A and B are shown apart, each in its own frame.
Chain A
Amino acid sequence: MNLHEFLTPIQDICRRPGPFDRIVLTSRVRLARNLKDTPFPGRATKQQRDEHLQIIKPVVESLTSMKKGFSQELNDLADLDRQLLVERHLISRELAKKKQGAAFVLSKDETCSIMINEEDHLRMQVILPGLQVKEAWKAVDKIDTQLENKLPIAFSGRYGFLTACPTNTGTGMRVSAMLHLPGLVIAEHMQQTITAVNKLGLAVRGLYGEGTEALGNVFQISNQMTLGETEFDIIERLNKVVVQIIENEENARAKLLESNPEMVFNNIGRAYGILTNAHVISSKEAKNLLSLLRLGLDLGYFPEMDPEVVDELFIVTEPAHIQHRECKKMSPEERDIMRATQLRERLEGMQRPSMQVIAAKNDDRPDTGESDSSEDTQTDAEDGSGQET
């Protein structure tokens, strides 16, 4: 079976429900583990990496969680497929760059992915939809316990699990939640949120982890520290913070609708207009507009629309996914055209947002301070910043 026969169609993956999935896209827990007394991948020779792979791969493939799974060495993986797996968050960008001795193993449902010879001998992750950090930890903990019986894992009573980078030493665990926060971004509360979250020892990053931009108002929150705390404490803290951010996001949305509904409608309406009519669109612009469409969906402005479509488009409009669909390598310019075509096709027949319904509700309220028409010129000027034409 080849990779593409194995992979679950994106629309099916996007259809999996999870708690709080209006705001929390996915939860992930990854563990870093190494074999003891032998060089880590970064220090190992090609031959040693191959030897390590021969030791680790059969053990990983024999795990109960990996039954009917899929495994492949990076040597045998085309460039486009590497990128495709990164876009699906199934392998890391770092693994995608590796060749000799590197491999990955995916579980049947693709919630579990184990990378071999990335920065560490073993990187195992479980990704679940919505806010399920505790469930993800339970799943990856189980796999880890099975592996430790079969492999000589590097562990010290003092420092815990030993990893190539000292920032992972200890639990070797990185817990993260991917959050969609358009309300906090539009309300300009994001900087504040990041500062507060940082103070609690958690990092805020972009869509693809370290060093990436927060495209499409998607932010990744993860623990920075891995030593001196139990896994349970780290997960509890992150969970609490995420629950708080969800509340803040909901509040920000409610407040925006109350104080400046036209601005919200304008953003969503323009996003709808561009996405359904553009003929050339960059990945960045598409993501940012899809984020607004998702916000519109959350707010109930597209009652006819299948809510998973936006999440699906988020992924299928990525460069490797577009090229895979078209079965050829394409230049960025060609991709921008194809992306726009795909968006128009997929969103064809999508009804215009019915935002008036909510606006009418607002009008019904006794305290209608709707004499804002004089301010219209001002808001026009402000809104201009977000749009490029």
Chain B
Amino acid sequence: MICNVCQNNEATVHLTQMLEGEIKKIDMCESCAQKQGVDEPGMPLIDLLVGLGPSSSETSEEDETTPSTKRLVCQVCGNSLADFKKTGRLGCSHCYEVFANQMDPMLRSMHKGIKHTGKAPKHFKDDRATRDQLEKLEKKLQKAITEERYEDAAVLRDSIKQLSEQATPADEPSAHP
């Protein structure tokens, strides 16, 4: 878990506070916690949280420089960037692409990493395997051609054709066809 404030060091101080009936959490490294005066009793967490989370410094700068991000709205569910920042919730699977710029820093502050390494649906794994296989064959084909092994190339070309017909064509690596 990375410090929410500097986004750099390992977070070792974990604060939880009730604010307006909601539980707010923040994770900080030792030095940031000291700078923020965490030790002082009654320090309001809100001051810290205001500049963090979905509306972190990184993204708010972006908002100012590129006015288009402000008007960012998901076509599938109608969730806007403002909604997302307010609720902290995505509106649909497509939002993950629409708010891609906001997602990475946010996820990094919450999780161990920002790349999924766990279970994947079988059809997804199969697609991934097919794509890998296709890539390999393409390379072999190019090699065969440059080496003028045309008989091999013909065989390879046929297997590529066969494989790509099997694969579900529209399924892109980023999962949203």
Using a CB–CB cutoff of 8 Å, the interface residues on chain A facing chain B are 34-40, 42-44, 119, 141, 144-145, 148-149, 153-167, 169-171, 173, 198-199, 201, 210-211, 224-231
Give CA–CA (A162, B112) in the complex, Å: 16
Expressed in whole angstroms, the minimum distance between the Cβ of B33 and any Cβ of chain A is 14
Q: Which of B37-45, B62-70, B92-100, B162-170 contacts A (4 or more CB under 8 A)?
A: B92-100
Q: A43-B78, A171-B118, A201-B1 are in contact. List 17 more A-B contacts (CB 8 A).
A: A36-B176, A43-B92, A155-B120, A156-B93, A156-B96, A157-B174, A159-B116, A162-B93, A163-B90, A170-B118, A210-B23, A225-B112, A228-B115, A229-B112, A229-B113, A230-B118, A230-B119
- Taking CB atoms, residues of chain A closer than 8 Å to B1 are 201, 224-225
Expressed in whole angstroms, the minimum distance between the Cβ of A152 and any Cβ of chain B is 10
The size of the chain B interface, using a CB distance under 8 A, is: 40
Give CA–CA (A165, B91) in the complex, Å: 9
A166 lies within 8 A of B110 (CB)? yes
Flag whether B175 is at the interface (Cβ < 8 A): yes
Within 8 A of A (CB), among B58-110: 76-79, 87-94, 96, 103, 106-107, 110
A156 lies within 8 A of B174 (CB)? yes
A39 lies within 8 A of B76 (CB)? yes
- Taking CB atoms, residues of chain B closer than 8 Å to A226 are 111
Query: Can you identify 20 A-B contacts, CB atoms within 8 angstroms?
Result: A34-B92, A35-B93, A37-B93, A38-B76, A40-B77, A43-B77, A43-B92, A148-B121, A156-B176, A157-B175, A158-B116, A160-B118, A166-B88, A166-B103, A173-B118, A198-B14, A227-B112, A228-B117, A230-B117, A231-B118
Expressed in whole angstroms, the minimum distance between the Cβ of A334 and any Cβ of chain B is 28
Expressed in whole angstroms, the minimum distance between the Cβ of A171 and any Cβ of chain B is 4
- Taking CB atoms, residues of chain B closer than 8 Å to A154 are 92-93, 175
Decide: A157 near B116, CB < 8 A? Known: A38-B92, A211-B23, A225-B110.
yes
- Taking CB atoms, residues of chain A closer than 8 Å to B93 are 34-38, 154, 156, 162
A158 lies within 8 A of B115 (CB)? yes
Expressed in whole angstroms, the minimum distance between the Cβ of B113 and any Cβ of chain A is 2
Which residue of the partner chain A has the closest CB to B77? Answer: A39
Main secondary structure of the interface of A (DSSP, over half): loop
Give CA–CA (A199, B27) in the complex, Å: 11
Flag whether B140 is at the interface (Cβ < 8 A): no
A229 lies within 8 A of B92 (CB)? no
Give CA–CA (A230, B119) in the complex, Å: 7
Give CA–CA (A173, B118) in the complex, Å: 10
Expressed in whole angstroms, the minimum distance between the Cβ of B157 and any Cβ of chain A is 28
A164 lies within 8 A of B89 (CB)? yes
Give CA–CA (A22, B165) in the complex, Å: 57
B 122-142 to A, binary, CB cutoff 8 A, 1 in contact else 0: 111000100000000000000
Partner of A148, one of B106, B118, B122: B122
B112 lies within 8 A of A228 (CB)? yes
A155 lies within 8 A of B90 (CB)? no
With a 10 A CB-CB cut-off, give which of B89, B110, B113, B174 has the most chain A CB atoms: B110
A42 lies within 8 A of B91 (CB)? yes
Partner of A162, one of B23, B96, B114, B117: B96
Give CA–CA (A144, B119) in the complex, Å: 10
Give CA–CA (A282, B116) in the complex, Å: 46
B116 lies within 8 A of A145 (CB)? no
Which residue of the partner chain A has the closest CB to B87? Answer: A42
Decide: A231 near B119, CB < 8 A? Known: A37-B176, A156-B96, A225-B112.
yes
B92 lies within 8 A of A169 (CB)? no
- Taking CB atoms, residues of chain B closer than 8 Å to A159 are 96, 103, 107, 114, 116
Give CA–CA (A211, B22) in the complex, Å: 9
Expressed in whole angstroms, the minimum distance between the Cβ of A292 and any Cβ of chain B is 27
- Taking CB atoms, residues of chain B closer than 8 Å to A227 are 107, 110-116
B122 lies within 8 A of A149 (CB)? yes
Expressed in whole angstroms, the minimum distance between the Cβ of B169 and any Cβ of chain A is 16
- Taking CB atoms, residues of chain B closer than 8 Å to A42 are 87, 89, 91
B90 lies within 8 A of A171 (CB)? no
- Taking CB atoms, residues of chain B closer than 8 Å to A36 are 93, 175-176
Decide: A228 near B113, CB < 8 A? Known: A37-B93, A155-B175, A210-B23.
yes
| Ranked 5 nearest A-B pairs via Cβ | A228-B113, A160-B116, A154-B93, A43-B91, A228-B112
- Taking CB atoms, residues of chain B closer than 8 Å to A230 are 117-119
Flag whether B12 is at the interface (Cβ < 8 A): yes
Expressed in whole angstroms, the minimum distance between the Cβ of B152 and any Cβ of chain A is 32
- Taking CB atoms, residues of chain B closer than 8 Å to A156 are 93, 96, 116, 174-176
Partner of B90, one of A40, A201, A210: A40
